[in-house]
């Protein structure tokens, strides 16, 4: 059996989960990127939110985005 220490809390885990992003072993409690403060979390989030949109709008779109957000609420 491959038992490993959780890279976050250090607990010895008989069936470690390996984060598909940082490849580190984690216990069942810390297997999610959010739960072990994954080093790739920023990357994951930017992928989810679609960084392309921000880049496409460019620098001059910044105030427009704020107006759009605050205008809605
Ligand atoms: Zn853990
Ligand atoms: Zn991770």
What does each of the 73 residues of the chain score in pLDDT, given as a tens digit? 689 999 999 999 999 999 999 999 999 999 999 999 999 998 888 887 775 655 555 555 566 766 777 776 6
If asked whether residues 34 and 57 sit together in one domain, one would say no
Domains in the chain, number: 2
Quick one: pLDDT at residue 66? 67
Give residue 49's domain range.
40-73
How far, in Å, is the centroid of ligand 2 from the Cα of 27? 12
Ligand in closest contact with the CA of 8: 1
If asked whether residues 33 and 58 sit together in one domain, one would say no
Quick one: pLDDT at residue 52? 61
Quick one: pLDDT at residue 19? 96
If asked whether residues 32 and 6 sit together in one domain, one would say yes
Ligand in closest contact with the CA of 34: 2
If asked whether residues 23 and 5 sit together in one domain, one would say yes
String of DSSP letters for the chain: ---EE-TTT--EESS-EE-TTT--EE-GGG-STTTTT-TTHHHHHHHHHTHHHHHHH-GGGHHHHHHHHHHH-
Quick one: pLDDT at residue 48? 76
How far, in Å, is the centroid of ligand 1 from the Cα of 50? 30
């Amino acid at each position: 059996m491959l038992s490993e220490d959780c890279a976050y809390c250090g607990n010895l885990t008989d069936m470690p989960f390996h984060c598909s992003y940082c490849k580190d072993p984690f216990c069942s409690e810390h297997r999610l990127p959010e739960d072990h403060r994954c080093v790739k979390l920023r990357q994951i989030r930017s992928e989810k939110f679609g960084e392309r949109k921000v880049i496409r709008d460019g620098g001059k779109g910044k105030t427009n985005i704020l107006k759009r957000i605050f205008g809605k609420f």
